[in-house]
Amino acid sequence: MPSVRLLRTPPPRLPGLSSGSAAVAWATPWLVWSAALVVAVLTGPDVSVGPVLAAVPALAAIGHRWPGILGFGVLAAVTQTVLRWGSTPLGGSALPMVTIAIVVVTVAGVAAAVARARGERTLDHVRSLAGGVQRAVLRPLPEATKGYRLAGFYRAAEAEARVGGDFYDALQTPYGLRLVLGDVCGKGLPAVDATVTLLGAFREAAYDEPDLAAVARRMDLSLRRRQDASGDDRYATALLLQGRPDGTLELVNCGHVPPIAVSPDRSRELSLWPGCPLGYFDFAQDEPVRVNTHTLDAGTSLLMVTDGVTEARNGDRDFFDLEAAVTGHDLGPCPAALTRALLADVSRHAAGGRLRDDAAALALVRHLPEAPGSLSAPSGPTPAGP
Domain residues for the domain of 93 are 4-130
270: helix, coil or strand?
coil
pLDDT in tens, 332-380: 678 888 899 899 898 888 877 677 788 899 999 987 555 444 333 344 4
Residue 43 in domain: yes
Do 327 and 188 have their domain in common? yes
Residues 247/295, Cβ–Cβ less than 8 Å: yes
Last residue of a domain, one of 70, 100, 130: 130
Residue 182 in domain: yes
Per-residue pLDDT of the chain (386 residues; tens, 9 = 90+): 454 444 555 555 555 455 667 778 788 888 888 888 888 877 877 677 888 888 888 888 887 888 888 888 888 888 888 877 755 544 444 557 788 888 888 888 888 888 888 877 776 656 555 555 555 667 888 888 888 999 999 887 665 555 668 899 999 999 999 999 999 998 778 888 899 999 999 999 999 999 999 999 999 999 999 999 999 999 999 999 999 988 899 999 999 999 999 887 778 899 898 889 999 998 877 778 999 999 988 878 899 999 989 988 888 888 998 888 887 666 667 888 889 989 989 888 887 767 778 889 999 998 755 544 433 334 444 444 33
In whole angstroms, give the CA distance from residue 200 to residue 49. 66
Q: List C-alpha distances in Å: 13 to 9, 29, 84, 116, 334.
A: 12, 17, 36, 10, 38
Residues 6+ apart with CB under 8 A from 171: 177, 178, 179, 203, 206, 207
Do 102 and 156 have their domain in common? no
Task: Report the candidate in 12, 308, 293, 339 with the shortest Cα–Cα distance to residue 143.
Answer: 339
Do 22 and 43 have their domain in common? yes
Look at the alpha carbons of 338, 343, 348, 351 in this order and tell me if their dihedral is positive or negative.
positive
Residue 385 in domain: no
Last residue of a domain, one of 78, 101, 130: 130
DSSP states along 342-376: HHHHHHHHSGGG--SS-EEEEEEEEPPTTS-----
The angle subtended at Cα 311 by Cα 305 and Cα 316, nearest 5°, is 145
Q: Other C-beta atoms within 10 Å of 314: how many?
A: 13
Q: What are phi and psi of 252, to 5 degrees?
A: -120, 120
Do 51 and 116 have their domain in common? yes
Helix 50-63 vs helix 19-43: angle between axes, to the nearest 10 degrees?
Answer: 170
Do 97 and 146 have their domain in common? no
In whole angstroms, give the CA distance from residue 57 to residue 73. 5
Do 359 and 221 have their domain in common? yes
Do 241 and 364 have their domain in common? yes
Q: What is the tally of structural domains in the chain?
A: 2
Do 223 and 352 have their domain in common? yes
Which residues of 247-385 form beta strands (DSSP E)? 248-254, 260-262, 267-269, 292-295, 301-305, 359-366, 378-379
Last residue of a domain, one of 82, 106, 130: 130
Q: Other C-beta atoms within 10 Å of 200: how many?
A: 13
Residue 386 in domain: no
Residue 70 in domain: yes
Do 154 and 217 have their domain in common? yes
11: helix, coil or strand?
coil
> What's the residue count for the chain?
386
Residue 216 in domain: yes
Residue 244 in domain: yes
Do 85 and 172 have their domain in common? no
Residues 160/130, Cβ–Cβ less than 8 Å: yes
pLDDT in tens, 195-242: 999 999 999 999 999 999 999 999 999 999 999 999 999 999 999 999
Return the H-helix or E-strand segment holding 145: strand 144-145
Do 202 and 98 have their domain in common? no
Residues 303/259, Cβ–Cβ less than 8 Å: yes
Residues 291/249, Cβ–Cβ less than 8 Å: no
In whole angstroms, give the CA distance from residue 297 to residue 97. 82
Give the pLDDT of residue 93.
47
The domain that contains 316 carries what CATH number? Answer: 3.60.40.10
Q: Other C-beta atoms within 10 Å of 1: how many?
A: 10
Residue 248 in domain: yes
Cα dihedral 291, 255, 241, 304, rounded to 10, equals 140
Do 202 and 238 have their domain in common? yes
Look at the alpha carbons of 63, 68, 74, 76 in this order and tell me if their dihedral is positive or negative.
negative
Give the pLDDT of residue 368.
58
313: helix, coil or strand?
strand
